[in-house]
Amino acid sequence: MSDDLVLMESKAGIGLITINRPKTLNALNLQTLAALEAALTTLEQDREVRVIVFTGAGDKAFVAGGDIEDLNSRQGLAHYQGFAEVIHRVFRRVETCDKPTIAAVNGYALGGGAELLLATDIRILADHARIGLPEILLGLFPGAGGSQRLIRQLPLCLAKQLMFTGHPIGAERAVQLGLANMVVPAAELMSEVMALAADIAAKSPLTLKLMKRALLHGGEMTLANALAYEQSMIGLVLDTRDAHEGCSAFLAKRPATFVGE
Ligand code: CO8
């Protein structure tokens, strides 16, 4: 296994980012966050890549959180802020990425790992995955965007229970609550994720980009403003080559080929 903190590859329109610190269950220290951000930038800029998948090395953990040793070594507010600033920036970049993102959760997604998951579009869980926000057990609270994203993705009382107790939940329960899309047998995780990614990668990347922006920004607006915003975005989409290709292909009873223009 490579010593790189983050592994990156791309094939057939799908970019794969693997957080690679299996000895610490893929915990995120500052260097790993920097490598994660660099990999994300590369895949965002690669026009061939249409979907980005995140996973963790090994079969035990997606990401077991922020690196507790790194956090504990920091003295003073400025040092904590240094870490907080970077992890917030990286997770926000994941959340605002113009390309669809999928978390392939191959085990523990705890603390910062759950917070990374909360920033992705779609989450597929191996059956042994466990999701939790155990920060309270360390005398912390979820501070990498997790407290704010969780209360926007779960009913408030459920989000509070997870954060107040720090107890993780299993994969089936996470899907039942709506925190993830589906559970698959661990051995099939990557093939299921890649099949889903390939399905999305065949769609128009430009339409997906504009749809993602409509969902991201519209979700933070009043309904009246969000509807007006959606209307302008669909106006843009209707003018694209891909929209004409999709409609023409339907009428000609042939498969559409989308190019992102
Ligand atoms: N950080 C550093 N090292 C870790 C972490 C972590 N988050 N998680 C596991 N490790 C290390 C262990 O110390 C151990 O190292 P070693 O082999 O040298 O002893 C190795 O990984 C394997 O772990 P375990 O032996 O503990 O494996 P188990 O199977 O017994 O347990 C668990 C697995 C349940 C996942 C357990 O390791 C655990 O509870 N880990 C910690 C989970 C946790 O608390 N995560 C939250 C961390 S805090 C956080 O995420 C905040 C981030 C944002 C902060 C922003 C503010 C600035």
Mean pLDDT by 10 residues, the chain (261 residues): 91 98 97 98 97 98 96 86 93 98 98 98 98 97 97 98 98 98 98 98 97 96 98 95 96 96 94
21 alpha carbon – ligand 1 mean position (Å): 11
Determine the pLDDT at residue 81: 83
Pick the CATH number of 205-252 from 3.30.420, 1.10.12, 3.30.70, 1.10.1760: 1.10.12
Please name which of 22, 187, 206, 45 lies closest in space to residue 104, comparing C-alpha atoms: 187
Determine the pLDDT at residue 106: 98
Backbone φ and ψ for 105, nearest 5 degrees, come out as -95, 100
Domains of the chain: which residue ranges?
6-201, 205-252
Q: What is the SS3 assignment for 45-109?
A: HCCCCCEEEEEECCCCEEECCECHHHHHHCCHHHHHHHHHHHHHHHHHHHHCCCCCEEEEECCEE
Please name which of 54, 49, 29, 31 lies closest in space to residue 198, comparing C-alpha atoms: 49
Please name the amino acid found at residue 251.
L
Residue ranges around ligand 1 (CB below 6 Å): 24-25, 27, 64-69, 80, 83-84, 87, 108, 110-112, 134-135, 138, 140, 143-144
Kindly give the number of the ligand 1 atom that is closest to the alpha carbon of 80: 57
| 115 is an active site residue | yes
Its CATH class, for the domain covering 6-201, is: alpha beta
List of residues 6+ apart from 104 with CB closer than 8 A: 53, 54, 55, 62, 124, 126, 189, 190, 193
3-state secondary structure of 14: strand
Residue among 44, 48, 95, 135 flagged as catalytic: 135
Determine the pLDDT at residue 231: 96
Residue from 21, 25, 135 to probe ligand 1 pocket by mutation (most atoms less than 8 Å from CB): 25
Determine the pLDDT at residue 1: 62
